[in-house]
Structure 1
């Protein structure tokens, strides 16, 4: 399943928060005012982390690029905290 999810063409959500050498296998989900992505983040050192970020916007017309970038930042902050132990 991770192999299939790693073929994600769009890297604007979870993957946007990580350097290019970090593999992100993820699946998006979007409903009106809900923006979701869940997946596995794999570092070159072998570290793997399951990550899910759910964002809710006040309106369905919210700037999608800003929400997507916030999802990537939130994922990176969470994984960084886990890596620091």
Structure 2
């Protein structure tokens, strides 16, 4: 089987383009995997921060209840006298 010059050039160009496309595909796939891991870590961090936020809100509510408690205010007033 003989290949003429045009067929050989076409084959070389096709192989080069296919190799470039495969390289781009695998790079994109690796980038996607890396971003997926980063996204998973960020989602976990968001969950942890939401839990911490909820705990801090509960602590603030407890402190507000203590500060606004009439019994404590009365004791402070008596102690000031």
TM-score (norm 2): 0.29
Which structure has greater helix proportion?
Answer: 2
Which structure has greater strand proportion?
Answer: 1
Look at both structures and tell me which one has the larger radius of gyration over its CA atoms. 2
TM-score (norm 1): 0.27
